[in-house]
Every structure is written in C-alpha cells, then in structure tokens.
Amino acid sequence: MRILIVEDEKSLASEIKQFLEKEEYNCDLAYTGSEASEFISVNPYDFILLDIGLPDYNGLDLIKEAKEYNSEAYFIVITARGELEDKIKGFDLGADDYLPKPFSLLELLSRIQAITRRKFGQKMAEIQFGDFILDTTKKHLQYNDHAINLTKKEYKLLSYLILNKNRILDRLQLTEHIWGEFFEDDYDSNYIDVHIKNIRKKLSEYDDTNWIKTVRGIGYKFEIQ
C-alpha cells in the first residue's frame, strides 16, 4: 500500500518513513503543504498521514483538497495540537483517525492496520480462503499446518488482490501499489504476470482452485465468497 507522510519535523518524518518501509509500505514524504499538494495531484494513496501545523498550510484545509484527488484515501491526523475543536473539524472534513504527538510507531502501525481491516470489511487480521490463511499482521500464508514461502513482492501482490476480492485490478493499479511508482517504459512488461504465475504455482501445490482469475486485456481478480 502507498502512504503519503506530510510532516514538517524532518527527523520525525524520516523516522516514520523508515519504520513503515520496513513494514513493506511504499512511502512518499512531504515537509510542506505545497509539496503534499503536488504529490496528491498526481499519485493515488491508500493513506495520508497529515500534520495540522504545517509552515505554509493549515493541514485541515489540505484534507479537503486531497479528497478531490484521492477520494478513497484514508487520513490519519498526526499533530501536537489536541484541542477538541480541531479534532471535530478534522473528522467533519473526513479524517479517519487522530493521533496526538508524542506517539508510538507501533501504535501508528496498529491504527493503519485497523483502518485497513475496516476499509476492506475485515474483522480479524487473518483472512481465510479455502484451507489457506493469510495473516496480514505477521505477513504470513499457510495451508492447514504448512507454511507457504512467498517473496515480499508475492505477499504484497497476493494480499492486495485478496483485500480487493472480487474486484478487477488492472496492471497499472497493481504496479503502483506493489512497487510504489509507475514508469511508462514498464507498462508492457510482464512483471505482474510473472509474479501471478509464481503465486498460482505455489497455491496449486496445495489446492487446485483457480483463485486468481485473468481478466483478458485488463488485469486480474481474486475470487472469493
């Protein structure tokens, strides 16, 4: 998943970015509202972590602007300002959570994971399909008692398909969310197709169900009831 971090405290912004990238999130970093505005206008984001007290912007105003370009993005307001009025205004504008400084990075991760589960209708961190279980917290896939060895890219691709179950995802969407950036020269590459082939092979060793459907000329869809 792709996250935009909007934070003018450079040391904190860097710390958040490094931590989330270790958790396999793709992150962009903006120190000002103007930088954030540029990122938002050209890139799709799953989450926007937003400080209110920016040097050139009221962070709450940026939520309104961001909603025009990233209507499906989720917002976590991160700020030292804790007034009730700010919280109410933030939620009214579409913020999904509010995390006052100082905070634990593990708490931030927990809130991102909780919002992700709500977004995709998950009640638990574990997703079951057939006799497979995907643990989105431990980033682990198993079939009954057998652990299935997935590469980091394979896990990210499979989990993204499962979270968007029964929805057609084109190669551009998959590329942007798995690799974090999209380069025009790569559009006709078979990166996604090769990873899908490898995932299918690993799943078929335990279950011959065709979980990942090919949508000709578009992309893929993970079918699950």
Comparing 12-16, 86-90, 138-142, the range with the smallest average pLDDT is 86-90
pLDDT of 217 over the 70 cut: yes
The neighbouring-strand residues paired with 219 are 170, 215
Q: What is the pLDDT of residues 50-91, one digit of tens each?
A: 888 888 887 778 888 888 877 778 899 887 766 656 667 767
Calpha distance 178→104 (Å, rounded): 26
- Where b means 16+ CB within 10 Å and e means fewer, 162-172 reads bbbbeeebebe
Comparing 2-16, 60-74, 86-100, the range with the smallest average pLDDT is 86-100
Which residues are within 8 A (CB) of 138 and not within 5 positions of it... i.e. 6 or more apart? none
For domain 2-119, give the CATH superfamily.
Answer: Response regulator (3.40.50.2300)
Q: Identify the helix (H) or strand (E) that includes residue 185.
A: none
Any idea which residue has 């197709």 for tokens? 193
Calpha distance 104→140 (Å, rounded): 24
Residue intervals of the chain classified under CATH 1.10.10.10 are 126-222
What angle is formed at CA 179 by the lines to CA 178 and CA 182, rounded to 5 degrees?
A: 115
pLDDT of 117 over the 90 cut: no
Residue intervals of the chain classified under CATH 3.40.50.2300 are 2-119
Sheet holding 26-30, edge to edge: 26-30, 2-6, 47-50, 74-79, 97-100
Q: Which of these, 178, 119, 136, lies nearest to 170 by C-alpha position?
A: 178
In this structure, which CATH number among 3.40.50.150, 1.10.1040.10, 1.10.10.10, 3.90.550.10 belongs to the domain 126-222?
Answer: 1.10.10.10
Q: Which of these, 215, 178, 199, lies nearest to 132 by C-alpha position?
A: 199
Q: What's the pLDDT at 114?
A: 83
The neighbouring-strand residues paired with 82 are none
Q: What's the pLDDT at 181?
A: 55
Q: Tell which wins on pLDDT, 78 or 184.
A: 78
Calpha distance 206→225 (Å, rounded): 19
Q: What's the pLDDT at 182?
A: 47
pLDDT of 28 over the 90 cut: yes
Torsion, Cα of 184, 72, 163, 45 (10° steps):
40
Q: Which of these, 182, 180, 16, 22, lies nearest to 99 by C-alpha position?
A: 16
Q: What's the pLDDT at 123?
A: 57
The neighbouring-strand residues paired with 26 are 2
Mean pLDDT across 108-112: 89
Calpha distance 185→155 (Å, rounded): 24
pTM, two decimals, is 0.65
Mean pLDDT across 157-161: 90
Calpha distance 223→225 (Å, rounded): 7
